[in-house]
Amino acid sequence: MDSYKELANQISAKVKDIKQSAPDTMQGFYQMSSAINGDGALTSKTKELMAMAIGIAARCQGCLAFHAKACVKMGVTRAEFMEMLQVAIYMGGGPSLMTAAEALQAYEEFGGEKAI
């Protein structure tokens, strides 16, 4: 992927098209998203890191873009992001290693901390 910011913008435009054609489905999706995104037994930051790890395991490029952006916005540190990547790699092996590298690229593109 050349630009995760560009990918996020392209997908957002298409999601708007889907919302117009399938408003009930999208309302249900957004309701589910709202129901889980606050702090509970797990912090919202932990949940976002989990979502990114699942995106890596599913090899979902759009997920990488949206969840990297959210991680940066939530103040996820590079150390936290790297630990999440390690869990994703452990659980998904070589294919997850490739997608984890792409996730790190997305995190950095959205303004996440870079290696020193």
Q: pTM for the whole thing?
A: 0.91
Confidence of residue 2 (pLDDT cuts 50, 70, 90): confident
Total domains present in the chain: 1
Closest-CA residue to 85 (of 50, 42, 41, 53): 53
Distance between CA 74 and CA 95 in Å, rounded?
A: 27
Give the chain's mean pLDDT.
Answer: 96
**Helix extents (H) in the chain:** 4-21, 23-36, 44-57, 61-73, 78-109
Confidence of residue 44 (pLDDT cuts 50, 70, 90): very high
Strand segments, DSSP code E, in the chain are none
To the nearest 10 degrees (0 to 180), the angle between helices 61-73 and 4-21 is 110
Residue 73: CATH number of its domain = 1.20.1290.10
Are 101 and 66 contacting, i.e. CB atoms less than 8 angstroms apart? no
pLDDT in the model for residue 94: 95
70 lies in some domain: yes
Distance between CA 30 and CA 88 in Å, rounded?
A: 26
Half-sphere exposure of 107 toward its Cβ, with a 13 Å CA cutoff? Answer: 27
Q: What percent of the chain has pLDDT over 70?
A: 100
Full residue range of the structural domain in which residue 99 is found: 4-34+43-109
pLDDT in the model for residue 42: 97
For 49-92, what is each residue's pLDDT tens digit? 999 999 999 999 999 999 999 999 999 999 999 999 999 999 99
71 lies in some domain: yes
